[in-house]
């Protein structure tokens, strides 16, 4: 599904991403872990096209996308849930969901499946995004990213500032989407237990490099928890 090879990225003279290589497969959750400032968000922004990379390739189903605009990448099947959610506070829930359809023809309806995944949104269609709780906004941000039917879903710290019951709901949705088998999911997460429960594959980053990787089931024995707590 997604293949990243030799990716280097700079902010000015600072070398942030250093030769990253990994694959994210359909039907799997790939969890990216690492402390603050190691480059996790920069990696996700590079995949989406919000920052440009200096070298390397990003392939989606075999096609290079690293030179495409974010809009083009969304059209080719990348869905992005940014850190901090970035929902439109003055727009209604329904209009926020419609924004997720911006890459589709004008008459494309909001998929009913989104309300099955997040029933709370159906009750709140007419509310303004800014009036929702943090957890509801996070669910809205995920639903908005799903509206266009992505084959790669990218989530940046979806549990940040969210209450435990909603974290559980979000975890269930992520698992369900992965288990359908046609979508690859990349999840950046600082909350170890949430990450470990969902990970099929994990990558640990330090200073812009992947320093440890493996199967999700091996995270504990590989010592990932200790590495994150130091
Ligand atoms: N727009 C920018 N311009 C210059 N430097 C930046 C910019 N954005 C991030 N950085 C720097 O790049 C490095 C990686 O930041 P990034 O946000 O990708 O880390 P992160 O692992 O996602 O951290 P966090 O968990 O805090 O979001 C940090 O040193 C950060 O200060």
Q: What one-character-per-residue DSSP string does 203-229 give?
A: EEEETTEEEEEEEGGGTTTTTHHHHHH
Instruction: Name the CA dihedral angle for 169, 150, 194, 45, rounded to a multiple of 10 degrees.
Output: -130
For the chain, the residue count is 230
What integer pLDDT is reported at residue 200 of this predicted model? 98
For ligand 1, pick from 10, 12, 16, 154 the residue to mutate: most ligand atoms within 8 Å of CB. 16
Beta strands in 25-162 (DSSP E): 29-33, 55-60, 63-64, 78-81, 152-156
What integer pLDDT is reported at residue 230 of this predicted model? 67
Which residue lies with its CA nearest to atom 26 of ligand 1?
A: 36
Which residue lies with its CA nearest to atom 25 of ligand 1?
A: 36
For the CA of 12, the nearest atom of ligand 1: 4
Q: Is the CB of 41 under 6 A from ligand 1?
A: yes
For ligand 1, pick from 42, 80, 156 the residue to mutate: most ligand atoms within 8 Å of CB. 42
Q: From 3.40.50.2300, 3.40.50.300, 3.20.20.70, 3.40.190.10, which CATH number describes the 2-87+149-229 domain? A: 3.40.50.300
Which residue lies with its CA nearest to atom 5 of ligand 1?
A: 11
- Total Cβ atoms within 10 A of residue 48: 20
Residue 75, classified by CB atoms within 10 Å of its CB into exposed (0-12), middle (13-18) or buried (19+), is middle
Q: How confident is the model at residue 121 (pLDDT cuts 50, 70, 90)?
A: very high
Closest CA to 23 of 230, 212, 226, 203: 203
| Percent of all residues in the chain with a pLDDT value above 90, rounded to a whole number | 91
**Average of per-residue pLDDT across 82-100:** 93
Tell me the C-alpha distance between 220 and 229, whole Å. 13
Residue 138 backbone dihedrals phi, psi, to 5 degrees? -65, -40
Q: How confident is the model at residue 107 (pLDDT cuts 50, 70, 90)?
A: confident
What integer pLDDT is reported at residue 111 of this predicted model? 92
Q: Is the CB of 45 under 6 A from ligand 1?
A: no
What integer pLDDT is reported at residue 150 of this predicted model? 96
Q: Is the CB of 13 under 6 A from ligand 1?
A: no
Tell me the C-alpha distance between 142 and 154, whole Å. 9
Q: Which positions ≥6 away from 7 have C-beta within 8 Å?
A: 17, 19, 20, 21, 43, 46, 53, 55, 56, 57, 58, 66
pLDDT digit string, tens, across residues 179-216: 999 999 999 999 999 999 999 999 999 999 999 999 99
What integer pLDDT is reported at residue 43 of this predicted model? 98
Domain ranges of the chain: 2-87+149-229
Q: How confident is the model at residue 108 (pLDDT cuts 50, 70, 90)?
A: confident
What integer pLDDT is reported at residue 116 of this predicted model? 95
Tell me the C-alpha distance between 203 and 188, whole Å. 10
pLDDT digit string, tens, across residues 28-47: 999 999 999 999 999 999 99
What integer pLDDT is reported at residue 105 of this predicted model? 79
Which residue lies with its CA nearest to atom 1 of ligand 1?
A: 11
pLDDT digit string, tens, across residues 53-66: 999 999 999 999 99
What integer pLDDT is reported at residue 103 of this predicted model? 81
| Percent of all residues in the chain with a pLDDT value above 70, rounded to a whole number | 100
């Amino acid at each position: 599904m997604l293949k990243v090879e030799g990716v280097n990225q700079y902010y000015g003279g600072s070398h942030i991403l250093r030769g990253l290589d990994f694959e994210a497969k359909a039907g799997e959750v790939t969890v990216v872990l690492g402390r603050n400032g190691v480059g996790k968000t920069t990696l996700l922004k590079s995949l989406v096209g919000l920052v440009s990379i200096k070298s390397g390739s990003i392939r989606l189903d075999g096609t290079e996308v690293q030179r495409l605009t974010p809009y083009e990448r969304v059209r080719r099947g990348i869905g992005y849930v940014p850190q901090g959610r970035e929902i439109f506070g003055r727009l209604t829930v329904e209009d926020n969901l419609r924004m997720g359809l911006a890459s589709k023809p004008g008459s494309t309806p909001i998929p009913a499946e989104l309300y099955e995944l997040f029933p709370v949104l159906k009750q709140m269609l007419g509310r303004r995004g800014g009036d929702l709780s943090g957890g509801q906004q996070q669910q809205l941000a995920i639903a908005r990213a799903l509206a266009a039917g992505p084959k790669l879903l990218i989530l940046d710290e979806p549990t940040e500032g969210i209450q435990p019951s909603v974290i559980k709901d979000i975890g269930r949705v992520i698992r369900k989407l992965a288990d359908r088998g046609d979508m690859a999911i990349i999840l950046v997460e600082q909350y170890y237990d949430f990450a470990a429960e969902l990970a099929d594959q994990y990558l640990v980053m330090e200073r812009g490099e992947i320093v440890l990787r493996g199967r999700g089931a091996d995270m504990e024995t590989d010592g990932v928890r200790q590495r994150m707590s130091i």
